[in-house]
Structure 1
Amino acid sequence: MAHLYRRRKQYWIVYYLNGNRVQESLRTDNERIAKDKKKKLEYELALGDLHQSSKLPLPMILEAFCKYMLRIRTAKSYKNEVSRLGYFLARSVTLSSLCRQGADEQRTMLHL
């Protein structure tokens, strides 16, 4: 069961997922839309389709991804994948910051 409440002009929802209390903004100020979103969320909870988000920090996820890609891809393919990932992250992440531990190994492998 979920509970709707209003915080300033926005509607929020509170529900429990795997024993943990979750609060989310519904990003609407319309009560009808908020109730529709509540029904949809309750339906997903009943079916078990709702999953809890990962609590892993982004650097750990990126590092694991880079190590995985380094194992399964060729050097050129790896370089392209990391380049695309950097573009997706708005170029705020460089190749060396993606994989801190293996940065030197990657540079020699990719001849950078």
Structure 2
Amino acid sequence: MRLLRSGGGDTGVVIFSKSTCCMCHTVKVLFEGIGVHPIVHEIDQISNEGKNIEKALMALAAGSGSTAAVPAVFIGGAYVGSTNEVMSMHLGGSLLPLLL
């Protein structure tokens, strides 16, 4: 849970994902496509803490108006949201400035 409390890291892009989630894959491809290499934590492959991390991500998403626990995207340690939020930011032109 320490991993989640820190936002996965205080710099760059961190994505909490599930290896079988197509929307997680889409967000990872988006970042790779714009030249960003995020740190990715596949929570379904974290044996002891994965379920607890997922529950915490669900609460975080619900508290911020997001509808999905994963992918959970953090930029600079701050929670940005899930697929809808990231794609909306990208299409609206507000994602790239966060990455600079």
TM-score (norm 2): 0.29
Which of these two proteins has the greater Rg computed from alpha carbons? 1
Higher relative contact order (CA 8 A, sep 6+): 2
TM-score (norm 1): 0.27
